[in-house]
Amino acid sequence: MNLDAKIPEGPLAEKWTRYKNSQKLVNPANKRKLDIIVAGTGLAGASAAASLGALGFHVDIFCIQDSPRRAHSIAAQGGINAAKNYQNDGDSVERLFRDTIKGGDYRAREANVYRLAEVSGDIIDQCVAQGVPFARDYSGMLDNRSFGGAQVSRTFYARGQTGQQLLLGAYGALSREINRGSVTLHTRCEMEELVLIKDDNGVERARGIIVRNLVSGQLERYAAHAVVLATGGYGNVYYLSTNAMNSNGSAAWICHKKGAAFANPCYVQIHPTCIPVHGDYQSKLTLMSESLRNDGRIWVPKKKEDAEALRRGEKKATDIAEEDRDYYLEKRYPAFGNLVPRDVASRAAKERCDAGYGVGPTGLAVYLDFADAIARLGERVIRQKYGNLFQMYQKITDQDPYHTPMMIYPAVHYTMGGLWVDYELQTTIPGLFAAGEANFSDHGANRLGASALMQGLSDGYFVLPYTLQNYLADQITIGHISTKDTAFDEAEQAVRQREEKLLAIGGTKTVDHFHKALGRIMWEYVGMSRNEQSLTTAQEQIDRLEEEFWKDVCVPGSIESFNPEMEKALRLADYFELARLITADALHRKESCGGHFRTESQTDDGETMRDDENFMYVAAWEYQGHGNKEILHKEPLHYEYAKVTTRNYKS
């Protein structure tokens, strides 16, 4: 396997310009002859399809929900970063680049990250032109807030619904192209297989997909000159996460099985501020935006007896005197305080709870307190800034966060790992591109808050329209690809066999039963902290559970019908394999970095300790068949511009 990142020559700040000046173009008449498939309608997928359609290509776009506007990007709350420096507080492209590289704990590719920072400003311009109602100040200018891992205010936001507004902007652009006929929309369709066809030179290229029509259960074939995967992350392997119920890793996993390398699967982001788990029946965890850390202060009691009384419900948070409160983030990280990056904040919360200072009925929660901010700014201002988040919290927990502190605990939120892509966002399969959370490219071992929206839109609006064109320039003489090719027959058959196999088991336990069990293994042993022993345990337990699944799962109904249980079973079958790869990756990376914390590799005060000498590379895995150990390929990381240091958020 060849891991050529294809990074353009020249100084960092000129790479993207040089690329654009030298890439191949496709003339307007030829664009009409070229078809592109986009799987996923989130920020990356919708923005890519809209931009490519506007250029004149024909695009088929697919989503599993009933409308493209439902994609999980819609749930992003806090904001989107951009190096506009509207606040005159010292921001620049250079600084956004450095913050992102540092936030990712020096495990991201420099050239990609610089390009991301470079186009960040264009994203805001684009969104405003589309009518995204970003927050403004009284002069009518755009307002900003701060997010973790930065000392400037560069986050643009639309109340607590930034993802929704950005997605509706991209959805609008997409809808316009659908109306013009350049994009064809397919809803309630799930990608089940990638189709590869050899060209005249014997090179296997991504040429189509097989989808399951979720309403009829029938399989459908679509062919194209290139396939873009924008299907999001795989956080739901943990069962409980902040992801939507239907978010899943299967499309990416299917591509991996067909030959696309999977990079850094063990980099999973655990978000520090989520509503704690409260029962076995729980289906998902709800995020409370990182933006709350602008005004909320995180604390636990200083005394263990207070923590115990709080857990038993004998005391209320407001009963604890100021001097008996431990604002542990402010104390440990004076320079960044409550706004340390997510991995740091999550680990600190876990450390306090494990030490016996956790609150709430389960002891697995810390306080996020707005009393100071309300005293300083007044309840009206806080309501304006975070009203919808406070309402959401109140509806779920039945507690009023204006008068009692919120209780929060870390939860799985985002996956930095994903399909390996080069500078052009092309995977190791020619003609298969991956964008947004589905790829691994920009966040290293830890993503900074408000950077996912930036990356999704950067990939879709400003990167793929160039790099896909460069790829397609060689394809203009091919003509439309036929779905009658035998490769489509084989792919379709493979999907049918998987479905039939699942249906035939006729066991006694539901899909969710197994998914919950897998989630518990992953959270317990491959969660916020990992070590050799826990990871080995996880491997054994995953194997055992998978075996049981294939013997005893019950998938009711028929194949050719509306059958959500079948959808879930197909996804879970892939999660077992994915879980094994996450564990293997975590096991091989004997260092701590970003969200990946190996207890064997920590400093005296419990911070992550990297091993740059041995692990400064991207781990890209090659599939070797079910149950077999995957082959590790390494893409070394070179830092020519960013100074590699130990992350320090203390001073």
Of 461-500, which residues contact another protein (CB under 8 A)?
461-462, 465
- Using the contact rule CB under 8 A, the part of the chain among 70-78, 219-227, 417-425, 494-502 near another protein is 70-78
In sequence order, which ranges of 553-626 are alpha helices (DSSP H)?
564-588, 612-615
Please report whether residue 283 would count as binding another protein according to CB under 8 A: yes
Side chain identity, residue 498: R
Residue (of 188, 228, 219) closest to 49 by Cα position: 228
Q: Taking a C-beta distance cutoff of 8 angstroms, is the pair 404, 368 a contact?
A: no
Q: Which stretch binds another protein (CB under 8 A): 119-127, 422-430, 626-634, 642-650?
A: 119-127
Q: Which residues pair with 366 in a beta bridge?
A: 408
Question: 178-217: which residues touch another protein (CB under 8 A)?
Answer: 178-179, 185, 187, 215
Sequence-separated (6 or more) residues with CB below 8 Å from residue 411: 240, 241, 242, 270, 271, 274, 277, 285, 287
Cα–Cα dist 82/43, whole Å: 16
| Complex with another protein: residue 213 or 537, whichever CB lies closer | 213
* Residue among 280 and 613 whose Cβ is closer to another protein: 280
SS3 51: helix
x/- string (CB under 8 A) for another protein, residues 404-433?
Answer: ------------------------------
Q: Which of 19, 62, 114, 134 binds another protein (CB under 8 A)?
A: 134
The set of residues, in sequence order, having a beta carbon less than 8 Å from that of 105 and lying 6+ positions away, is: 343, 444, 445, 446, 593, 594, 608, 610, 647
Choose which of 4, 322, 398, 613 interacts with another protein (CB under 8 A).
Answer: 398
Rule CB under 8 A: choose which of 30, 151, 175, 537 binds another protein: 175
580 binds another protein (CB under 8 A): no
Minimum distance from CB of 266 to another protein (Å)? Answer: 26
In the complex with another protein, the residue whose CB is nearer, 244 or 454, is 244
Min separation Cβ 125 and another protein, Å: 5
Looking at 2-10, 45-53, 590-598, 604-612, which segment touches another protein (CB under 8 A)? 45-53
Tell me if 277 contacts another protein by CB under 8 A.
no
Q: Could you say which of 155, 165, 446, 475 contacts another protein (CB under 8 A)? A: 165
Question: Nearest distance from residue 239's CB to another protein, in Å?
Answer: 12
Choose which of 22, 27, 218, 508 interacts with another protein (CB under 8 A).
Answer: 508
Q: Is 532 a residue that touches another protein (CB under 8 A)?
A: no
Residue 162 C-beta: closest distance to another protein, Å: 11
The smaller minimum CB distance to another protein, of residues 122 and 635, is found at 122
610 catalytic per annotation: no
Alpha carbon 39 to its chain centroid, in Å, reads 16
Copy the structure tokens of residue 494. 């493979």
Please select the residue that binds another protein; options are 30, 65, 362, 404, rule is CB under 8 A.
65
Residue pair 269/149 in contact (Cβ under 8 Å)? The answer is no
Question: Contact region for another protein (CB under 8 A) — 4-12, 172-180, 402-410, 431-439?
Answer: 172-180
Q: What's phi and psi for 240, nearest 5 deg?
A: -85, 120
Residues contacting another protein: total by CB under 8 A:
83
With H, G, I as helix, E, B as strand and everything else as coil, classify residue 268.
strand
The beta strand positions in 358-517, using DSSP E, are 366-369, 406-415, 418-419, 432-434
Segment interacting with another protein, rule: CB under 8 A, options 282-290, 326-334, 339-347, 479-487: 282-290
3-state DSSP helix/strand/coil % of the chain, to nearest 5: 45, 15, 40
- Binding of residue 233 to another protein (CB under 8 A): no
The stretches of 526-637 forming alpha helices (DSSP H) are 532-552, 564-588, 612-615
Residue 387 interacts with another protein (CB under 8 A): yes or no: no
- Taking the C-alpha atoms of residue 269 and residue 573, their distance in angstroms, rounded to an integer, is 23
Q: Which of residues 559-578 bind another protein (CB under 8 A)?
A: 561-562, 564-565
Q: In this chain, which stretch among 318-326, 346-354, 558-566, 592-600 interacts with another protein, using CB under 8 A? A: 558-566
Determine which one of 311, 342, 598, 647 is catalytic. 342
Residue with tokens 């919950």: 516
Residue that is written with structure tokens 């389960």 in the block: 362
Residue 495 to residues 186, 193, 357: CA-CA distances in angstroms? 19, 7, 50
Bridge-based pairing of strands 183-186 and 35-39 is unpaired
Separation of alpha carbons 442 and 615, rounded Å: 17
Dihedral (CA of 348, 349, 353, 358) sign: positive
Is 377 near another protein (CB under 8 A)?
Answer: no
Active site residues: 342
